[in-house]
């Protein structure tokens, strides 16, 4: 019997006290990351120049639950638990018998789910005596989250921001600086990598990663932080799904389908993995649907292979769906979804047939975002607008079949720093960029030699 409430709020003492690790639940253990030189499985020592041992331990653990440290919980209290809403106005607008729920992470000070992992990463680095974290940021969501987290644990934060974004999104930069971070326009003259690519003035995520990693690798008091893809990052995000599960119980509901957008995969992992556990234990029949941009259709069009995590090919090889590590997606406004690969854990579950994927073009995505804003009020970020597009399709199919489907989706951030994209959509100048099969074929030919995956 569904509740007649619209908003489901937990008390502070209901913030999860452990992160959920999906690895022990997986039908097959994930293939290990490989050293880019030796092609042998990497060990903790290979990661030690960049990450503190506590995070490396989280990256490789096979424990199902990992306790959340007290100071991390203290910082989570600044914005967690986040609300779960029933989208009653959207349901009415669609005339659907489906009941639609969304977990809203935009209430974090940085405006997205990213602080869920930025906070524990900053904490573990501070505890290990590190003084400074470096990272890269494209659209600015991740850089903002890390700047916030570093301000809470008294760490210096240095962000290499992709040149084009730095110029187009000055307010994201101001936000990071307000939290005390130093923001460099990448390519910068502060690193060898930046100086070598000085001719690529608009920059790229690949160059920005190289700059951030170079600084961290060259200074023992400086580490590097990554905002998605890795196992420990996905694990940190599972506070989302654990809270959502409790809130869906308050709502008197069990989801028939869980929907989220996918860039590197951490948002989708965070919401869905706790529900995937239930499904794998035979306690639920829920389906899972990952929504991605048609301009960067990793899960729907990529190949399942070992590939580098970065564009320049210096990171470990990861087992994942990939469009080729040197595939440079067009500048779609959903900057957080422009990644050539995806989290190996998420890819493994897609490969195992547990998670489906669908890709949408920009204009249909923004059309969904505007419908959502005009019914539910909240202005979604372009990334979760892909999930909203998928939700509307599900709700419309429920209307056609007359089914009382229960839909849960992740609204992982607001769009307050993406209004220029809304402006482009409303004025009819947003382009539906086509994914180029030819370009990808070329990129796939440059995939690194590595063992085949099952």
Q: Does 249 bind a second copy (CB under 8 A)?
A: no
**Cα gap 55→232, rounded to integer Å:** 7
CB of 148 to a second copy, least distance (A): 6
Burial 79-118 (b: 16+ CB within 10 A, else e): bbbbbbbbbeebbebbebebbbbbbbbbbbebbbbbbbbb
Residue 321 exposure: Cα atoms within 13 Å on the Cβ side: 25
Residue 378 exposure: Cα atoms within 13 Å on the Cβ side: 24
Phi and psi at residue 438, to the nearest 5° = -65, -45
Number of residues that bind a second copy (CB under 8 A): 45
CB of 5 to a second copy, least distance (A): 5
Q: Does 428 bind a second copy (CB under 8 A)?
A: no
Site for a second copy in 119-148 (CB under 8 A): 148
CB of 114 to a second copy, least distance (A): 13
Phi and psi at residue 410, to the nearest 5° = -100, 120
The interface mask with a second copy, positions 66-85, x = CB under 8 A, is: --------x--xxx-----x
**Cα gap 296→131, rounded to integer Å:** 36
CB of 374 to a second copy, least distance (A): 5
Phi and psi at residue 330, to the nearest 5° = -65, 160
* 289 vs 430 by CB, closer to a second copy: 430
Task: Give the max Cα distance, the chain.
Answer: 62
* 332 vs 443 by CB, closer to a second copy: 332
Rg (CA), the chain: 20
Query: Binding a second copy by CB under 8 A: which of 2, 6, 27, 221?
Result: 6
Q: DSSP letter at 35?
A: -
* 108 vs 204 by CB, closer to a second copy: 108
Q: Which residue has the tokens 């992470």?
A: 105
Q: Does 152 bind a second copy (CB under 8 A)?
A: yes
Beta carbons of 175 and 137 less than 8 angstroms apart: no
Query: Considering only CA atoms, which of 3, 25, 422 is closest in space to residue 241?
Result: 25
CB of 79 to a second copy, least distance (A): 7
Site for a second copy in 180-209 (CB under 8 A): 180
Element (H, E) at 76: helix 70-76
Query: Binding a second copy by CB under 8 A: which of 52, 111, 316, 410?
Result: 111
How far does CA 30 lie from the centroid of its chain? 19
* 119 vs 262 by CB, closer to a second copy: 119
How far does CA 53 lie from the centroid of its chain? 23
Query: Binding a second copy by CB under 8 A: which of 1, 13, 400, 445?
Result: 13
Beta carbons of 133 and 106 less than 8 angstroms apart: no
* 170 vs 252 by CB, closer to a second copy: 170
Element (H, E) at 174: helix 170-178
Site for a second copy in 339-378 (CB under 8 A): 370, 373-378
The interface mask with a second copy, positions 398-427, x = CB under 8 A, is: ------------------xx-xx-xx--x-
Q: Does 92 bind a second copy (CB under 8 A)?
A: no
The interface mask with a second copy, positions 161-180, x = CB under 8 A, is: ---------xx--xx-xxxx
Query: Binding a second copy by CB under 8 A: which of 1, 11, 62, 129?
Result: 11
**Cα gap 193→208, rounded to integer Å:** 9
Q: Which one of 7-15, 32-40, 211-219, 228-236 is the stretch in contact with a second copy (CB under 8 A)?
A: 7-15
Binding site for a second copy (CB under 8 A): 5-7, 9-13, 74, 77-79, 85, 89, 107-111, 148, 151-152, 170-171, 174-175, 177-180, 370, 373-379, 416-417, 419-420, 422-423, 426
């Amino acid at each position: 019997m569904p509740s007649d409430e619209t908003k489901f709020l937990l008390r502070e003492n209901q913030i999860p006290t452990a992160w959920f690790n999906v690895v022990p639940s997986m039908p097959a253990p994930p293939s290990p990351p490989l050293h880019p030189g030796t092609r042998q499985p990497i060990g903790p020592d290979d990661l030690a120049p960049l990450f503190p041992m506590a995070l490396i331990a989280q990256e490789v653990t096979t424990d199902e639950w990992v306790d959340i440290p007290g100071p991390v919980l203290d910082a989570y209290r600044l914005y967690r638990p986040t609300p779960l809403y029933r989208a009653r106005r959207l349901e009415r607008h669609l005339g659907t018998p489906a009941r639609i729920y969304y977990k809203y992470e935009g209430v974090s000070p940085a405006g997205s789910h990213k602080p869920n992992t930025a906070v524990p990463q900053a904490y573990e680095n501070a505890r290990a005596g590190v003084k400074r974290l470096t990272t890269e940021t494209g659209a600015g969501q991740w850089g903002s989250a890390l700047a916030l987290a570093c301000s809470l644990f008294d760490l210096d934060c240095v962000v290499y921001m992709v040149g084009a974004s730095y110029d187009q999104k000055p307010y994201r930069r101001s936000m990071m600086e307000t939290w005390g971070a130093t923001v460099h326009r990448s390519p910068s003259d502060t690193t060898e990598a930046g100086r070598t690519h000085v001719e690529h003035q608009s920059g790229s995520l690949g160059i920005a990663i190289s700059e951030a990693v170079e600084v961290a690798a060259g200074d023992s008091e400086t580490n590097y932080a990554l905002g998605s893809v890795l196992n420990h990052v996905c694990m940190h995000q599972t506070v989302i799904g654990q809270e959502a599960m409790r809130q869906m119980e308050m709502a008197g509901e069990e989801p028939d389908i869980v929907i989220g957008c996918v860039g590197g995969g951490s948002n989708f992992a965070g919401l869905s993995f706790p529900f995937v556990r239930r499904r794998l234990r035979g306690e639920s029949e829920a389906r899972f649907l990952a929504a991605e941009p048609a301009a960067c259709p990793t899960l729907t069009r990529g190949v399942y292979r070992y590939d580098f995590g970065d564009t320049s090919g210096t990171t470990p090889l990861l087992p994942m769906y990939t469009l080729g590590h040197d595939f440079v997606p067009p500048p779609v406004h959903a900057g957080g979804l422009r990644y050539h690969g995806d989290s190996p854990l998420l890819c493994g579950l897609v490969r195992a047939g547990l998670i489906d994927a669908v890709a949408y073009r920009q204009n249909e995505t923004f059309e969904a975002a505007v419908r959502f804003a005009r019914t539910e009020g909240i202005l979604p970020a372009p990334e979760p607008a892909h999930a909203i597009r998928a939700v509307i399709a599900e709700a419309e199919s429920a209307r056609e079949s007359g089914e009382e489907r229960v839909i849960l989706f992740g609204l992982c951030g607001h769009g307050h720093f993406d209004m220029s994209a809304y402006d482009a959509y409303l004025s009819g100048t947003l382009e539906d960029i086509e994914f180029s099969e030819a370009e990808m074929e070329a990129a796939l030919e440059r995939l690194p030699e590595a063992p085949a995956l099952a």
